């Protein structure tokens, strides 16, 4: 995959990252309320320079990922504000399952943007031939868990097989899309 076609929803655009997004991405990944749930790489982002390095790595990696894996920016159509990011990754250790993850700048929480973007990227991933997607969340990450359910994901269990920590696992299949609450 060289680049993903831009995806649109009523309120959002999902597009590839660009390194020039660093200042706009910092309020997402530089926010403690967001980074605390994410990888050490993200927890180390405290300034635009660090954000640029992370985006550089994401942009470089994107063409070499196994489709539909990728990382995307989520932009509000109304005013062009970069409200967050999405990622679809192959879960370690076997890299058979794809994990969907959402990240919003804290002042964009509470509007349904993660749900809207999550549904759209899931539909796109299913169009690529994927039959199921997973989300994993720490038990205390209640907002992430609520979003997973809103998208239409179902709880399938608890595991320590990914990332060496105990996580709640959610799954969505094509027929589940849109089954969650609004």
Ligand X SMILES: CC(C)(COP(=O)(O)OP(=O)(O)OC[C@H]1O[C@@H](n2cnc3c(N)ncnc32)[C@H](O)[C@@H]1OP(=O)(O)O)[C@@H](O)C(=O)NCCC(=O)NCCS
* Chain contacts with ligand X (rule: CB under 6 A): 34, 37, 101-104, 109-115, 135, 137, 141, 143-144, 147, 150, 182
Determine the residue with CB nearest ligand X.
112
Residue 166 has a CB neighbour count (10 Å cut-off) of: 11
Alpha helices in the chain (DSSP H): 22-29, 32-35, 40-43, 48-61, 113-127, 142-151
- Given the complex with ligand X, which of 25 and 34 has the nearer CB atom? 34
Alpha carbon of residue 96 to chain centroid: 18
Q: How far is the C-alpha of 48 from the C-alpha of 21, rounded, in Å?
A: 10
Q: Which residue has the tokens 């929480």?
A: 109
The CA-CA-CA angle for residues 71, 180, 36, to 5°, reads 45
The minimum distance between CB 5 and ligand X, in angstroms, equals 23
**Contact yes or no for 124/7 (Cβ under 8 A):** yes
| DSSP secondary structure code for residue 108 in this structure | G
What are the phi and psi torsion angles at 167 (to 5°)? -135, 145
- Given the complex with ligand X, which of 80 and 110 has the nearer CB atom? 110
The minimum distance between CB 59 and ligand X, in angstroms, equals 21
- Given the complex with ligand X, which of 64 and 158 has the nearer CB atom? 158
- Given the complex with ligand X, which of 3 and 72 has the nearer CB atom? 72
- Given the complex with ligand X, which of 111 and 155 has the nearer CB atom? 111
- Given the complex with ligand X, which of 109 and 162 has the nearer CB atom? 109
Q: How far is the C-alpha of 65 from the C-alpha of 67, rounded, in Å?
A: 6
């Amino acid at each position: 995959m060289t680049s993903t076609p831009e995806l649109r929803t009523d309120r959002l655009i999902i597009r590839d990252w660009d390194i020039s997004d660093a200042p706009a991405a910092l309020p997402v990944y530089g926010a403690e309320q967001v980074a605390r749930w994410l990888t050490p790489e993200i927890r180390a982002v405290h300034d635009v320079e660090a954000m640029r390095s992370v985006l550089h790595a994401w942009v470089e990696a994107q063409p070499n990922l196994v489709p539909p894996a990728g990382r995307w920016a989520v932009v509000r159509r109304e005013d062009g504000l970069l409200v967050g990011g999405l990622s679809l990754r192959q879960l370690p250790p076997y890299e058979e399952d794809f994990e969907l993850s959402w990240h919003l700048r804290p002042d964009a929480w509470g509007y349904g943007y993660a749900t809207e973007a999550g549904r759209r990227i899931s539909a796109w991933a299913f169009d690529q031939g994927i039959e199921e997607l997973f989300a994993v969340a720490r038990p205390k990450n209640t907002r992430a868990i609520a979003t997973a359910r809103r998208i239409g994901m179902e709880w399938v269990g608890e595991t320590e097989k990914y990332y060496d920590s105990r996580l709640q696992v959610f799954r969505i299949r094509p027929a589940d899309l849109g089954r969650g609450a609004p």
